[in-house]
Amino acid sequence: MSEATYRLQLPKHDANASNERVRAVLAEVRRRSGMIPNMYAYMANAPEVLETYLSGYEKFRSLSGFTPAEQEVVFLTISYENGCDYCMAAHSVIAEAKSKVPQPVTEAIRDGAPIPDAKLAALAAFTRAMLLTRGRPTESDVHGFLRAGYSEKQVLDVILAIAVKTLSNYSNHLFATPLDDAFKARKWAPAAVQDR
């Protein structure tokens, strides 16, 4: 039996935090999204981590050239492989409510099943290859990605998404971040979620 993941004992912060930097970044999060997700409230213990996450997340969203649905496929694929139940729930909600990912696609990723859309399946396969090879995809991996209509520049954008999700997925593992009410409807906890 493997040893359990260590859990950080640092507090959850809010926009009234005593640290000015924490207070400022969380106030901005609340202004933009109308809430302070638990993940951000815990990540704020190291404001530089939260600030880096938010900056990378925004740049991926606005500059990657991926559609909102494709962005969610990338984020969900990474979160699935990293076993992050918090991000799987949050991105499932965002995927269906905001990014208009067809529910069969979201469900396939959540279940580790084949994705019923060839282009999105190629994107998920490449994202998985980049993550699992630690940035050493094969020629076949890259050619499949390019044949699906993506660009070499977007190979780098997948790296950005992996960096962003590493910050959030790993933080959630260490805090065992509880789901916000907004994400509970898409709770995710299959047998695949385990300490890896």
- pLDDT (tens digit per residue) in 130-188: 999 999 999 999 999 999 999 999 999 999 999 999 999 999 999 999 999 999 999 99
Collapsing DSSP to helix, strand or coil, 115 comes out as coil
pTM: 0.94
Report whether 60 contacts 157 (CB < 8 A).
yes
Q: Which amino acid is at 155?
A: V
pLDDT recorded at residue 196: 41
Confidence of residue 2 (pLDDT cuts 50, 70, 90): confident
Neighbours of 58 (CB within 10 A): 12
DSSP state of 1: -
**Cα gap 61→8, rounded to integer Å:** 29
The pLDDT score that the predictor gives to residue 154 is 98
Q: Which tokens sit at 91? A: 């991105």
Beta strands in 20-175 (DSSP E): none
**Predicted local distance difference test score (pLDDT) of residue 191:** 57
Parse the chain into domains and list their residue ranges.
65-186
Any idea which fold 65-186 has? AhpD-like (1.20.1290)
